[in-house]
Amino acid sequence: MNGRGLVFLLLAAALARGDDLPADLVGTCGAPSVAWQLNGLPPAVTTLGYETDDGLTLLVAGHRAAAEPARLGDLAMVSPEGWARRRIVAGPGLVGLPAMARRVLAAATGDSQVFLWTLTRQGEESTPRKLSAAAPPVVGPVIIGSTLLYAAGSRVYNVSNLFEPRWDADAGGAIGVPLASDGQGVFAATEAGLVALDVGDGHRRWAQPTPAAARTGLVVTSGAVVAGFADGALRAFDTETGAPLWEQKLGVTTFAPDLALAGPWLLAATGDGRLVAFDPLSGEPTWQARRPGPLSSPTAGFGHVFVIGEAGRLFAVPFDVKAKGWTYIGFTPDGQPLPLAGAPCLFGPRLYVGTAADRLVALDLKDADGDINWAVPGGTAQRNGRVVPPEELPAS
């Protein structure tokens, strides 16, 4: 280990004692119990939580081959009690995470289209509108207020009022990871670097070369856009100018697909089993933990980071290193092992996790207390499945 790496680990250890833990990262929760299991879903589903006019709703999304059955659909709207409310099927199969705003649901498919469903009635899926893209793969979508953003090939597309194509712009190279937005700019990562486009008219605000390609979705926070890169470094860039702000070389080979924000900290999970937190303004390490990896994208709340790791186990890792965490191993109702997969979703005092098979498992967290911090994978200003609510948009 080089001197820089040793200093990094010593600093992380010193700051991880819990003596000065931020107030919104203090909390408790005990080992969970199973509330319900729902089968008939694609493997390794992603679950996103929403507050809708109909009450709390889970949006459950998965990947499958077009020829495979999907009894509950590629997208299923599920109640927190485990009842499937709505079934949506996309023939070519989904890619990436969906997004939902008001009563419009957007998701990208494997044949380079974005489907838009209007959720105006109960029951089976409604006929969607389709937005074609120039080239695969489709990345996104992101919804900010009433604007839909997505990327395909090297182009970023803006659709106003969620249905009306407004502009598309060339990012200068193939876009390979999810977009991010702070409401004024949309940020895209190509193999050569990062690009910022104006949300209003699509003009290029800046382009910044990077030493390696981004390998995580982008995160926007505190005036910085941050990503994990193929050379094992985290890097941050100024959202206004693109100027490099900081980098931390972790010496890893892979990151989990999404970074996250927990209170004032930026979280990264790695393929070698590390959870690392940083100050997003300075890049200084603030906390570190290890669990058997590779680790999923992290979710934070109730004083813990939740990740799925080796052998499909769920780990609850406390921010306060003086506290004890716990490990959950899944089983079917008849006692067979049930490896978990994907990324956990924290919605209220309940954790929702997919499995490597066809199930969604709801876990009640015992004695849960404290804040829920950025419970949807990806952090950023995009809550609830890559959405920036209108009330969080900057004043024009």
Q: Per residue in 27-66, pLDDT tens?
A: 999 999 999 999 888 888 888 877 766 677 888 887 766 5
Indicate the length of the chain as a whole number. 396
Contacts 24+ apart (CB under 8 A), 80-87: 80/56, 80/347, 80/348, 80/350, 80/362, 81/36, 82/35, 82/36, 82/37, 82/38, 82/362, 84/38, 85/54, 85/57, 85/122, 86/119, 86/122, 86/123, 86/125, 87/124, 87/125
pLDDT at 376: 44
Is residue 348 in a domain?
yes
Whether 286 and 15 have beta carbons less than 8 Å apart is answered as: yes
pLDDT at 69: 63
Is residue 384 in a domain?
no
pLDDT at 57: 80
Is residue 16 in a domain?
yes
Residues of the chain with pLDDT under 50: 1-14, 16, 123-124, 375-387, 389-390, 395-396
| Exposed e or buried b per residue across 363-388, where buried means at least 16 C-beta atoms within 10 angstroms of its C-beta | bbbeebebbbbbbbbbbbbbbbbbbb
pLDDT at 295: 95
CATH number at residue 20: 2.40.128.630
Is residue 30 in a domain?
yes
The first and second tokens of residue 363, run together, are: 């876990």
Range of the domain at 276: 1-39+264-377
Cα angle for residues 171, 177, 179 (degrees, 5° grid): 65
Is residue 55 in a domain?
no
Question: For 161-174, how does the pLDDT look when each residue is reduced to its tens digit (9 = 90+)?
Answer: 878 889 999 999 99
Give the chain's domain count.
Answer: 1
Single pTM value for the model: 0.89
The first and second tokens of residue 340, run together, are: 């978990």
Q: DSSP character for 281?
A: T
Is residue 301 in a domain?
yes
In the chain, how many H helices and how many E strands?
A: 2, 34
DSSP string over 171-204:
-SS-B-S--EE-SSEEEEEBSSEEEEEETTT--E
Is residue 231 in a domain?
no
Is residue 210 in a domain?
no
Whether 89 and 61 have beta carbons less than 8 Å apart is answered as: no
pLDDT at 375: 43
